[in-house]
Structure 1
C-alpha cells in the first residue's frame, strides 16, 4: 500500500541515467497523457479567460520545465488562431530536454528555449504569464515555497500550474498502466511521480504559507490539479 508521506526518491528522468531516445519516448508518452487528461484544453481555456478579461493583445509566457515543449507549441498555436500575439520562452535545467524541444519545435518564430532553472532568473525578469506542467512534483520540500513565490513574482498577469497530486487511486492506476508501457522512464517514473507529488492538503498548506494571492485550484479525476493565480484581483483563495 502507498505510504501517504511524500517520497523523496529520485526519478530516472532526474538522475540522467537514460539515453536521448528513452527521454524522447518518455516525452511523447507525457504528450499523450496531456491529451488524454485534457491538460492542453484546460490550459488554453484558462489562459483565454484571463486574456479576454484583461483585453490583452500581446503577451509573453514563460514555461517552466518545458520538457519537449509541447505546452508552448499548443499555446502558441492557440494564441495565433485567436488573434493574440504571443512570445513564449521554454526553460528546462536539463540541456538534453532543450535539445529535444528544439528538434520538436524546429524554427518557430514565437518560441525560444534556454537550458536554465527558474532560480537563475532575477525577480525583475517579468513575463505576462508564468506556467508549468508536471514540474512541481520534481521540486523538493525545501524549495517548493520559494519556487512558487518566485514564479508568482515574475508573472505580471497570471501564474498557471498544472500537475499531479498524490492519491492512492491515482497511484494504483499509474502502477497498473505503467506495466504495459515499453519505455523504461515512463514505466518507472509515472508511479514514482505520484509518490513524489503533493497531496491536496499539502498543496493547500504550501499555498497558505506562500505569497500567492487571488488563486483557485481546480481538481480533476483521479489525480490532476490546476492552480490559477491572477494578479490585479481582490485577494481571494479558493481550494
Structure 2
C-alpha cells in the first residue's frame, strides 16, 4: 500500500491541535481505555516484562511518560495490587488537557498524575525502577526521538519499555474496518494517522541509539527496550 510505504512524519493528529473540539477530545481520552485494553497488549507486557521485577515486600517505582487519559497506569496499578505486588506509579503528560482529564477521571487510584515532561523530571534528578510509555514514539518528530530516549534512559535505573504501533498495511486495514464504533471522538481519524506515523521494526532499530532493542509484540506492536541494570529477560 503506497500510503504506508514510508512514515507520514509530518501528518498531524487532530487531538494534538491546540484548538481541537474539547468535547471530542474528552471522548477520545475516555475511549482510549477501550482501545488500549483491546489492542495495546499491556496485559502481556505486564506479565512478561514488569511483573517479574516486582516484589511483595519492597515497593518498585514506575514512571509512565505521556499517559494521556491515564488508563494504562491505572491498569498496571490494579494488576500489581491484585497480585499482591508493591508498585508506586507516577504518570506524566505535558498537555494540560490530558493531565486534567486523568486527575478527574481516576481519583484515589494509587497513581500520582503530574503535568510535566520527561525532560523536567530528568532535570529534577528523579529516577525510577521502571519507565514505560504507550503510543508516544510515533508522536515525536524524527529529530526529537534521540532526546526523548536519552531522557527516559536518564530517568530509569532498571528497564525502559516504549510500547508503540508497528506500521503495516494489515494493521491499517484492520483498524479501518473495526473503528467505526468510535463515534464522537478523534479515535478513528487519529488512529489511522497514528499508524501512518508509526515505525516499522527495521526503521525503529535504525533510529534507536546503541543499547536499545526492538521486539515484536502482538498485535502489530513494537517494544523499544533498554535494560539499565543488565537483568535482561
The TM-score normalised by the length of structure 2 is 0.88
Contact conserved, 1:178 with 1:191, CA < 8 A, in 2?
no
Which of the residues 8, 11, 32 maps onto 1:9? 11
- Within the candidate set 29, 35, 38, 2:37 is matched to 35
Distance in 2 between residues matched to 1:200 and 1:56, nearest whole Å: 37
The residue number in structure 2 matching 1:220 is: 218
For 1:48, the equivalent position in structure 2 comes to 51
User: Partners of 2:91 and 2:15 in 1: how far apart?
Assistant: 18
Could you tell me whether the CA contact under 8 Å between 1:136 and 1:163 is conserved in 2? yes
Q: CA deviation at 1:185?
A: 0.8
Q: Does 1:231 align with 2:232?
A: no
Q: Secondary structure at the match of 1:212?
A: coil
Partner residue, 1:21: 23
Q: Which residues of structure 2 form unaligned runs of 5+? A: none
1:172 matched to 2:173? The reply is: yes
Structure 1 range deviating more: 225-234 or 143-152: 225-234
Calculate the TM-score normalised by the size of structure 1.
Answer: 0.86
| CA distance in 2: counterparts of 1:230 and 1:130, whole angstroms | 10
Q: SS of 2:68's equivalent?
A: coil
Q: State the secondary structure of the residue aligned to 2:186.
A: helix
Is contact 1:216–1:229 with CA below 8 Å preserved after alignment? Answer: no
Give the alignment of 1:179-198 within 5 angstroms: 179-198=180-199
Deviation at 1:178, TM superposition (A): 3.7
Write the deviation string for residues 139-159 of structure 1: whole angstroms up to 9, x where unpaired.
110011221122122111110
SS at match of 1:159: strand
1:138 match: 139
Distance 1:135 1:27 in 2: 14
The residue number in structure 2 matching 1:122 is 122
Q: CA deviation at 1:216?
A: 5.0
**In structure 2, what is the Cα distance between the partners aligned to 1:170 and 1:125?**
37
CA contact (8 A) 1:160 1:228 kept: yes
Give 1:90 deviation, angstroms. 0.9
The CA distance in 1 between the partners of 2:79 and 2:104, in whole Å, is 20
Q: Which has the higher contact order (CA 8 A, sep 6+)?
A: 2
Are the equivalent residues in 1 in contact too, given 2:93–2:99 (CA < 8 A)?
yes
Q: 1:117 to 1:38 in 2, by over 3 A?
A: closer
Q: Give aligned pairs, total.
A: 229
Q: Does the Cα contact within 8 Å between 1:12 and 1:185 map onto a contact in 2?
A: yes
Task: Check 1:20–1:56 CA distance in 2 against 1; reply closer, same or farther (3 A cut).
Answer: farther
RMSD: 2.3
C-alpha distance in 2 between matches for 1:232 and 1:98:
31
Q: Which portions of structure 1, spanning 4 or more consecutive aligned residues, are displaced by more than 4 angstroms? A: none
> Alpha carbons of 1:116 and 1:38: their partners in 2 closer, same or farther (altered >3 Å)?
closer
